[in-house]
Structure 1
Amino acid sequence: MEKVIVNNLNVSKLMNELKEDNKNMQGTMKKIKDISIKSNILALNSGIEAARAGTAGRGFAVVATEIKKFAEDSLNASNESEELIERIQQKANEIIAVRTVDIAFDTIDKIDRNLFERNCDVQAWATFDALIKSLTHPGEDTKQAAQALMENIYTIYEVYFELLVLDLEGNIVATAKDESLVGQNMTGREWFEKTIESDDVYVSDLYYSPSIGGHTIAYSCPVRNEDGKTIGVFSTRFNWDFIFDIIERVKLDQKSQIAVINSEGYIIASKNKEEILEKKLTHLQAVQHILSGKETRGYTIENNCIYAYSLTEGYNAYKGKGWSVIVEESIG
């Protein structure tokens, strides 16, 4: 996969070099056009002077006519060349746009696959006996067993801020890391209420959690007893820095930008972390296309930039949260 990414970067570099050569060619053609216009004016003035000279100026008039014809032919050729250069420039932009759309799709696909694994994690771990017993037989021993298991998971997986077990009343029974959370009540929290209400896995949108000091997503799953009855909730706090890592590894030109946006158009991941949940991109036509449901993948050309976009398709059982990746590529 890394080889493909590097090749894509080379394509971007080559296409930008082609565009730069096109610009230089446009400058050269402008000089030729200016010379043609000046030659035409010179030929016109020469013809006028030859006419004034009468018989003595006939020979010069023939030369002036030929110069005028040459200037007109040169000007026509210059105009045709400019049209050709514009078409080449347009094709170069289209090639860059198609490649940039591929980058947007590849990035959101990587994110979806990562989050799909987190979706599987919470469902699998909610079935562990130690967690179930901490709810069916509450006590210090079962609590410690659940905590030891979650601490082990936390250490091995490295992608979570915290793991929690809660009873049906919303009380935190055990944690993987911060024991001070035990006993706190989460009734009223969307992730808890939605899990109980749907009796199914619930994935929150990105939010900033003061208690863990970072941006996170809550994955929550019902915990069931042997009879299949829901007896509590198991919930994880995914460390969003691992999504930042995916964004950082995307190979782009230095002038290019990449961002993940949520279903409201807010940036939730980019190379500038100060933008997270603070900046909206709804002013872009590309984002408007996504949010309106018109297109799930494509590009727009706005403000001398290509904006490629790709809406999440989810991955297997994980349906996604309506997020998209936007890639900005300058064509100025």
Structure 2
Amino acid sequence: MFNDKSNDNMDVSVLLNQLKEANKQMGQVVETIDQISKQTHLLSLNSAIEAARAGDAGKGFGVVASEIKKFADKSFLTAKESKTIINNIQTKANEVIAVRTADVAYDTIDKIDRNLFERNCDVQAWATFDAIKNCLCTDDSDRFKQATALMKNIVDIYEVYYDLYLADLDGKIIATGVNQQTVGQNVSNEEWFIETVKQNSVYVTDMYYSNNAGGYTVAYSCPVRDNGGNTVGVFSTRFNWTFIYEIIDSARVGTTGDIFVINKNGVVIASRDRNGILKDSLMELEAVRKAISGDLYGYSIEKDRSNKMKIYGYAHTKGYNAYKGKNWSVIVSETID
């Protein structure tokens, strides 16, 4: 679905480390100049003392000592200015990397929003299919068979869904696409069913683990209406969260960097190493607090839990078209310590 182009360009971490090494070498050269300046300054001081002791005979040597001191002072000032320039180069380099991490975060959340916008459209379209409506509105003897066949076909074609469910207004599942053992279950107490009926419109859950689906998912649910516009049931899909990882894995993140998708509470719902899902909170990070507060785009430079200095770029969802998003954010980090 998404192509990984992370090898097209040199790893940003490699470039950053090369820049840091070059700056380190420049710093060592400046330190050498600084040491020479100090030694020269000491030499000029000793020379001035000896010239004073020599009286008239040492006047010429005193002039030389004075010039040496001027040279030492100038070298010392140049070394100090060079240190400032080197620090500025490192600061600007970090800022460039920071902007880049924010760009990667923005691009990633945008791709996720666009993908989930399609899922939002899917459920609304399928809820209007005749086989789905007839299953709730007619007494045809084969209505359940037809609905099941359609839903199974949809799952096979689209591939990004674990399963599809059709429930009547009592909350009883009357047809599914894959797991037929769920038929007959009562879901009237489930969030997705309650909110869809209550709001009488499309309802999208946050990411969660579904026992029926057997994996992490997002449920998209839509009212099913008869020809008179009356709600007669709920059609619901279970998006396979693993497809989000195709987006995560294609993000241009360096080998010493990382990427996370977090929910509105700062809890990790996707990560490059797949660890800490729905368990780890990143709320201790300033970047995360800014992101979940609704700040659409930015970065911070701060220490992580292991006290390493890192750059954190972040981007907050702005949704896509009619899909408003779930207040998720993407956080991208690069190590600079």
TM-score when normalising by structure 2: 0.91
Q: Which residue of the partner structure matches residue 309 of structure 1? A: 314
Residue 246 of structure 1, CA deviation: 0.7
1:169 corresponds to: 170
Alignment-derived partner of residue 330 in structure 1: 335
Deviation at 1:212, TM superposition (A): 2.1
- Consecutive unaligned residues of structure 1, counting only runs of 5 or more, are none
Aligned to 1:32: 33
Q: Match for residue 325 of structure 2?
A: 320
Relative distance call for 1:2 and 1:26 in structure 2 (3 A) is: farther
2:162–2:213 contact (8 Å) kept in structure 1 = yes
Give the aligned residue type for 1:232: G
Q: Which residue of 2 aligns with 1:261?
A: 262
Deviations 1:223-281 (A, max 9, x none): 11111110000000000000011101112210111111111001111112122111111
Partner of 2:297: 297
Amino acid at match of 2:209: Y
The residue aligned with 1:204 is 205
User: Conserved in 1, the CA contact under 8 Å of 2:5 and 2:250?
Assistant: no
Could you tell me how far 1:140 is from its partner in structure 2? 5.6
Decide whether the 8 Å contact of 2:4 with 2:250 is kept in 1. Answer: no
Q: 1:235 to 1:175 in 2, by over 3 A?
A: same
Q: What is residue 281 of structure 2 aligned with on the other side?
A: 280
Contact 2:4 2:251 in 1 (8 A): no
Question: Deviation of residue 98 (structure 1)?
Answer: 1.9
Q: Which has the higher contact order (CA 8 A, sep 6+)?
A: 2
2:136 corresponds in structure 1 to 135
- After TM superposition, list the pairs within 5 Å mapping 1:50-69 onto structure 2: 50-52=51-53, 54=55, 57-69=58-70
State percent identity of aligned pairs. Answer: 54
Residue 19 of structure 1 and its aligned partner are, at CA, apart by 3.9
The separation in 1 between residues aligned to 2:117 and 2:293, in whole angstroms, is 25
Distance in 1, Cα, partners of 2:62 & 2:313: 59
List aligned pairs for 1:1-332, cutoff 5 A.
Answer: 14=15, 16-52=17-53, 54=55, 57-137=58-138, 141-293=142-294, 295-303=295-303, 304-332=309-337
Q: Give the Cα–Cα distance (whole angstroms) in 2 for the partners of residues 140 and 65 of structure 1.
A: 110
CA distance in 2, matches of 1:309, 1:8: 22
Distance 1:230 1:301, change over 3 A: same
Offset from partner CA, 1:85-133 (integer Å, 9 cap, x none):
2222222222222222211111100000000000000000001111111
1:139 is displaced (CA, Å) by 6.5
Inter-CA distance 214–47: structure 2 relative to 1 (3 Å threshold): same
| Cα distance between partner residues in 2 of 1:214 and 1:142 | 29
Instruction: Give the partner amino acid of 2:119.
Output: R
Aligned to 1:237, the other structure's residue is in SS state: strand
Instruction: Give the paired residue count.
Output: 331
- For residues 69 and 41 of structure 2, the distance between their equivalents in structure 1, rounded to whole angstroms, comes to 5
Stretches of structure 2 lacking an aligned partner (at least 5 in a row): 304-308
Aligned equivalents of 1:285, 1:324: Cα separation in 2: 13
Per the alignment, in what secondary structure is the counterpart of residue 164 of structure 2? strand
CA distance in 2, matches of 1:45, 1:14: 47
Indicate if the aligned counterparts of 1:19 and 1:92 stay in contact, CA closer than 8 A: no
Q: Residue 48 of structure 1: CA displacement?
A: 3.1
Letter in 2 for 1:315: Y
Q: Please tell me whether the aligned partners of residues 195 and 221 of structure 1 are also in contact (alpha carbons under 8 angstroms).
A: yes
Matching residue's letter, 1:258 = I
Q: Contact between 2:6 and 2:250, CA under 8 Å: does it hold in 1?
A: no
Tell me, in whole angstroms, the C-alpha distance in 1 between the residues paired with 2:261 and 2:180: 33
Q: 210-219 or 122-131: which moved more?
A: 210-219
Mapped to 2, the partners of 1:253 and 1:206 lie a distance apart of: 26
User: How far off is 1:331 after superposition?
Assistant: 2.6
CA apart distance, 1:45: 3.2
Give the AA of the match of 2:116: L
Q: Which of 34-43 and 78-87 deviates more?
A: 34-43
* Residue range with higher mean Cα deviation, 79-88 or 37-46: 37-46
Q: Answer whether contact 2:13 2:257 (CA < 8 A) is retained.
A: no
**After alignment, is 34-43 or 180-189 more displaced?**
34-43
**Residues 167-201 of structure 1: CA distance to partner in whole angstroms, max 9, x if unpaired?**
00111101111111000000111111000000000
What CA RMSD, in Å, does the superposition of the two structures yield over aligned residues? 2.2
Q: Is the 8 A contact 1:9 1:251 kept in 2?
A: no
C-alpha displacement of 1:15: 5.5
Distance 1:277 1:97 in 2: 27
State the partner residue of 2:306: none
